Amino acid sequence: MNKRFFKPLSSLITISAVVLLLTACGGGGDGGGSSSTNTSTSNPAPVTFTGGTNRGILNGVALGSGTKLTEDTVKTVSVTTSFLGYFSVGPAYLSRSGFSFHWIIPITNYGPPRCGIQLLSISFKDSSGALLFSEDQFVAGSTSVNSSGIPFCLATGEKGYALGISLAFNADPVNRVTISGIDEGFAPTGMPTESWKPLRYDIVSANSFMVTIQNTSSVLAGTGSSHWYILFDSTGKPLTWGFLDNAVSSVVPGGTAILVEDGYSYEGLASSMEVFIHN
């Protein structure tokens, strides 16, 4: 089995641990954990979080082998949800890949900014309604000052994506997706000090490309070792997703760094990508 299939699973487990730590430490500021009384008579300054941090859409040369039509590489299925508050989701996009598939579910936040948003009991079902598998999943988005460098926050009006992979089934039997609810996570406390902007991507070989990113903050900045990307067609339809590798440190303001994807495979053609940078 392709070793890269295990990378998303381990990375998502890491994200889960960080969210639990933030929650336990009262990082959300929305209840939970211990509380203290503020004896100051002044009102705190309002928190401003506009999103769009450590993420960006890139256009360039076509990505993929082009041996299949888009409709033969991606299956779109409807998403039925319980009440999700200020959030709107769906449909689900399933990228066909042999005996497995990557899945992508868009989600838009129409309420106040939130971080650590998690879709609960995402259930993939066949035409008879029988359950194939189910899981919870966090949402990729932008970074806030209190998100531990993880791009999983959404400002008001910002779109993010729940990303996952099925190793036990291919996309063929999936007929519908249901979502039981949402964990809205915690409130961001401001824009991050360190920020990165994707600048461009360059093809290295048939199965690899690199993404150049720039430190757009006023301080030395570094990144984590794994980052997400999503490929889109010319209409903006999500096609598939994967990971970019490389950890960098102490990049000066305005300096650049390289992230690398060295094992992707897509049989259609993608005309753009969105990159989510973990710093």
Residue type at 98? G
* Beta partners for residue 56, in sequence order: 275
Q: What does the pLDDT read at residue 22? A: 36
The two three-digit tokens of residue 260, written as one number: 């690398």
The two three-digit tokens of residue 170, written as one number: 């291919």
Residue by residue, pLDDT tens for the chain (279 residues) are 333 333 443 344 344 343 333 333 333 333 333 333 333 334 444 569 999 999 999 999 999 999 999 889 999 999 999 888 999 998 999 998 778 899 999 999 999 999 999 999 999 999 999 999 999 999 999 999 999 999 999 999 999 999 999 998 899 999 999 999 999 999 999 999 999 999 999 999 989 999 999 999 999 999 999 999 999 999 999 999 999 999 999 999 999 999 999 988 899 999 999 999 998
Coil, strand, or helix at residue 159? strand
Helix, strand, coil percent values for the chain (each to nearest 5): 10, 45, 45
Q: What does the pLDDT read at residue 47? A: 66
Q: Are 157 and 141 in contact (CB under 8 A)?
A: no
Q: What does the pLDDT read at residue 46? A: 54
Residue type at 264? Y
Q: What does the pLDDT read at residue 7? A: 43
Coil, strand, or helix at residue 91? coil
Q: Are 240 and 231 in contact (CB under 8 A)?
A: yes
> Residue 218: enclosing H or E segment and its boundaries?
none
